[in-house]
Structure 1
Amino acid sequence: MAESHAYEDDFLDGDDEFLDPSEVERRMLGTPQEPAIAEDDGYGETAFEPPARKPFGASSGGREADPVEADEFADAFSGTAEADAWAETPAPAGQSQRRFDPSDYEFDEPAAPAPVDAYLGEVDGEAPEQPIPRITIAAFCERPETGALIHNAAGDRRLAKAHVEVELGGLPAAIERYHDASTPNLLIVETGMRGQGLFDQLEELAGVCDAETKVIIVGAANDISLYRELMKRGVSEYLVPPMTPLHLIRTISNLYLDPEQPFAGKTVAFVGAKGGVGASTVAHNTAWSVSESAQSDCVLVDLDLSFGTAGLDFNQDPAQTLGDALSEPDRLDDALLDRLLVRCTERLTLFSAPATLDKDWDFSPDAYEMVLDKVRRQAPFIALDLPHTWSPWVRSTLLSADQVVVTVAPDLASLRNAKNLFDLVASARPNDEPPKVVVNMAGVPKRPEIPVKDFAEALGTPPALVLPFEPQLFGKAANNGQMIAEVDPKSKAAEGFGYLASLLSGRVAPVRKKSLVSKLFGR
């Protein structure tokens, strides 16, 4: 039955690489390709070369890219009655097409996201592993709801480098716009059409698209034959609502995955709500626990250039530090970075701060961004120990991290500052989970403290970890250049850092079973 349905498709020409249903399922779900014919390459391996996908505009003789910048698009063009029908307010006089402004519309609260369609691939809530580069994106939507979703995605930190424009009008508007203008790096077009009318308009769009432009179609039909026909015609991806901003962001990220550098580690920024609360201690012990307990490679970056203590805590005094990399970020390559990083354990490396006052250490946010982008290629987990200062680079680094950990003391100043940090992060990162809170030095004798439940109510989330006040244990570890788990692996603090490391890295610490001899003798 499946085969007869396939041959009834009006758009198949008998040479369809997607004709086999198992092949369709494999491509939709992203499962590995199994070669149809096993051919030994002489090394005991089977070679397979996937079919190349042609650019969207190639089939219609798309024109060569013009030297016009994507930001120089015309501000208005002729629209369609379909676009105006979707708009809730009339277009300005003399301008039938309008740029999308989410403030023009009121939307109901979004419902819980439905499961993503099976043959589009399973999308989880994880952040894209590859940052989206500095590309230009133009979206042409038929529905204001889709425009609002794309506008929301455009404000996400993962698209901070991209330039995004959202307009109403759908396919006709996109065709009209690019008759006399260079197309952007990525086009997102929404259309509710099906059948020959859709493909006629796609052919027209392909005729005005530059060969390098990628195209994502947002449609209404959950149709496998439509999907494979769009793929044949060079469309990069086909999405069907309901979808979330993170779904769209991951789709874009996958289109621009750098095959030479596909890996980017998870960055976790550790910051204190005020000075002296032990944010660096939390960062260092958590990074150590990620590498030792969770068995994951980790890089600890000490960003407190003047007063950083990571070198002291790990008994390291490197000749070259993070300050050298920030001084000339353009020269930083993998070979130089290997020389600057200091190995503390088998899985933990340190990018130490200079910890001197002979320089101002005043660098731009771009310098920090360039260096940290290189560091992210080194390990799956990057711990950023941020100083308790507020400057453009601190703000930029904090908001661009994959996860934020705020360390507080149980007092009023910490509560106020933590609330300010939470509000800032929530407004700047609407698609990310809120920061995690670590309450440090709880239970100091004779000191009035704000209860933990009050912190949870004010911040809207319970603390991820509450560390007791243990001055002897923490003081001994600091003076010896050791981590808490090295001094007393059975302490509550060591157990807490192991738990936080598992929570942040997503890896569970291996359970060490006692041997039979130790059980018999109670050891």
Structure 2
Amino acid sequence: MAAPVVALKTGMLFDTDEQDRDPFGAYIADDAAAAAAQAVARLRGWSTGSIRKGGLPTALRLLGVAPPPRFLILDIEGLPIEEVEAGLTEIARLGTAIIALGAINDVNHFRRIVRAGARDYIVKPVDADALGEALVRLEQPGDAANPAGRLVGFIGARGGVGVTTLAVNAAWIMAEKLSRRTALVDMDLYAGNIALALDIEPTRGLREAFDDPERVDEVFLQNAMAKFGKSLHVLATEEDFDDAVRMTDDKVLMLADTMRANFDMTILDVPRHFVMREPQLFSRFDELVIVAELTLQALRDCNRLTKLLQARNRQMKIQIVANQTTSKPDVSVKEFETGIDGKLRCVFPHDPKTFAAAGIKGRALAGHKPKHRIVADLHRFCIELAGVPEEPRQGFFRRLGKR
């Protein structure tokens, strides 16, 4: 017989500021589900110390004396549904988003769990992919039926700094490691390199999207985009240089909005001339990554781009990264950061041989050499770009460990 669910202690006051909470916690009874939760936590840069043995009764006992995490996985297998409903309702009142795990595959059971306060219910056995996708739904802003995806642009301070390489690898990490349904769009219709880098056939989808933007919907995107790997969708074309494509701000904005509505993450590889030709696009980005080299010219152009684009979209977060960095750059990291009056988010070393080997195989470096230093640094950066909640400096479970 299952142990009765214990009620939460009442009268407890918690500091529930989002910055003070752990982003994630789990109370799981079986080893397979616990291993899946640990894998998801590691990929998102979260502590695995917040994953505990036990289910809903353990959570009720411990959360009565601790502030709840933002996202909570609860094992409810083997408990009577009435006790599950009572326990979920109590925990949901603490302001945490709950994913319940159980063994009953029944729609009425699912509805009762959701009505009690869970945001999602997953039937066991569960793996890291299923848990990761469920967490993505909770991490996205908007309501559960219409979550809002994130739009991130990659642009070069100058030409030849490896923008496409970073955009391709960031998109691959978003899709394969962070469980995001990801769109990768090469906005250079004539000389873009994304299709070439991934060894996929370019399509006419982007051209058709600009020719008839009213057609662009979920069905159009499914047919127009090339699928790469688990959940990466690529929109890239190679139009003839003498074939003029009519692009306007309205058409570009419609494409950006449709991407946001249909994907968890959209990464746009943006040519620099868009700054002048399609300026309204930059009003849509959640974040913009400016890729530079450590040279005086790149320093100048970073400052010019940042000043202009901040004026166009004050809500957009601009990140500057240095790429293809040699051991003796023209401008040191310290000098560059002084020049931009800020910090470089990442400094990626120059490793043309490794990137060339990945390109020959038609693979992202993140898939070809997942332990490469560039991949590790980019993975951490992608966690931030994806909007994954950060670990607080001293979470509750770590504070418990110090007592």
Report the TM-score, using the length of structure 2 for normalisation. Answer: 0.60
Q: CA deviation at 1:416?
A: 0.7
Residue identity over aligned pairs, in percent, reads: 25
Q: Which residue is equivalent to 2:207?
A: 323
**Compared CA separation, residues 421 and 281, structure 1 to 2 (3 A):** same
Q: CA deviation at 1:287?
A: 0.8
Report the TM-score, using the length of structure 1 for normalisation. Answer: 0.47
1:483-504 deviation line (CA, Å, top 9, x unaligned): 1123322221121221221121
- Of residues 294, 310, 313, the one that matches 1:429 is 313
Within 5 Å, which residues of 2 pair with 1:53-132?
A: 129=141
- Of residues 434, 457, 474, the one that matches 2:338 is 457
Distance 2:337 2:169 in 1: 24
**Compared CA separation, residues 390 and 342, structure 1 to 2 (3 A):** closer
- For these two proteins, the number of residue pairs brought into alignment is 269
1:226-267 deviation line (CA, Å, top 9, x unaligned): xxxxxxxxxxxxxxxxxxxxxxxxxxxxxxx8x9x7222100
1:105-129 deviation line (CA, Å, top 9, x unaligned): xxxxxxxxxxxxxxxxxxxxxx994
Q: Which residue is equivalent to 2:379?
A: 498
One-letter identity of the residue aligned with 1:279? V
Q: Indicate yes or no: 2:381 matched with 1:381.
A: no
Q: CA deviation at 1:368?
A: 0.9
1:353-411 deviation line (CA, Å, top 9, x unaligned): 33432412231010011122111122211101101324555422123200010000111
Q: CA deviation at 1:46?
A: 5.6
Q: Which residue is equivalent to 1:399?
A: 283
Q: Secondary structure at the match of 1:377?
A: helix
Distance 1:508 1:485 in 2: 22
One-letter identity of the residue aligned with 1:436? Q
Q: CA deviation at 1:275?
A: 0.7
Q: Secondary structure at the match of 2:178?
A: coil
**Compared CA separation, residues 307 and 43, structure 1 to 2 (3 A):** same
Q: Which residue is equivalent to 1:278?
A: 162
- Contact 1:313–1:478 (CA under 8 A) maintained in structure 2: yes
**Compared CA separation, residues 319 and 283, structure 1 to 2 (3 A):** closer
Q: Which moved more, 1:281-290 or 1:484-493?
A: 484-493
Within 5 Å, which residues of 2 pair with 1:473-484?
A: 473-484=354-365
Distance 2:258 2:383 in 1: 25
1:42-71 deviation line (CA, Å, top 9, x unaligned): 94546999xxxxxxxxxxxxxxxxxxxxxx
**Compared CA separation, residues 128 and 396, structure 1 to 2 (3 A):** farther
Q: Which residue is equivalent to 2:22?
A: none
**Compared CA separation, residues 508 and 294, structure 1 to 2 (3 A):** farther
1:398-438 deviation line (CA, Å, top 9, x unaligned): 232000100001111111110011112333333443x1111
Cα root mean square deviation, aligned: 3.3
Within 5 Å, which residues of 2 pair with 1:278-317?
A: 278-317=162-201
- Of residues 467, 481, 484, the one that matches 2:348 is 467
Determine which structure has the larger helix proportion and give its number: 2
- Contact 2:204–2:237 (CA under 8 A) maintained in structure 1: no
- List gaps (5 residues or longer) in structure 2: 1-92, 98-106, 116-138, 391-403
Q: Indicate yes or no: 2:234 matched with 1:353.
A: no
Distance 2:293 2:196 in 1: 23
**Compared CA separation, residues 506 and 333, structure 1 to 2 (3 A):** closer
Distance 1:281 1:455 in 2: 22
Q: CA deviation at 1:460?
A: 2.5
Q: Indicate yes or no: 2:321 matched with 1:438.
A: yes
**Compared CA separation, residues 47 and 318, structure 1 to 2 (3 A):** same
Q: Secondary structure at the match of 2:262?
A: coil
One-letter identity of the residue aligned with 1:439? A
Q: CA deviation at 1:296?
A: 2.0
Within 5 Å, which residues of 2 pair with 1:39-50?
A: 43=108, 45=111
Distance 1:467 1:31 in 2: 37
Distance 1:29 1:367 in 2: 44
**Compared CA separation, residues 444 and 31, structure 1 to 2 (3 A):** closer
Q: Which residue is equivalent to 1:410?
A: 294
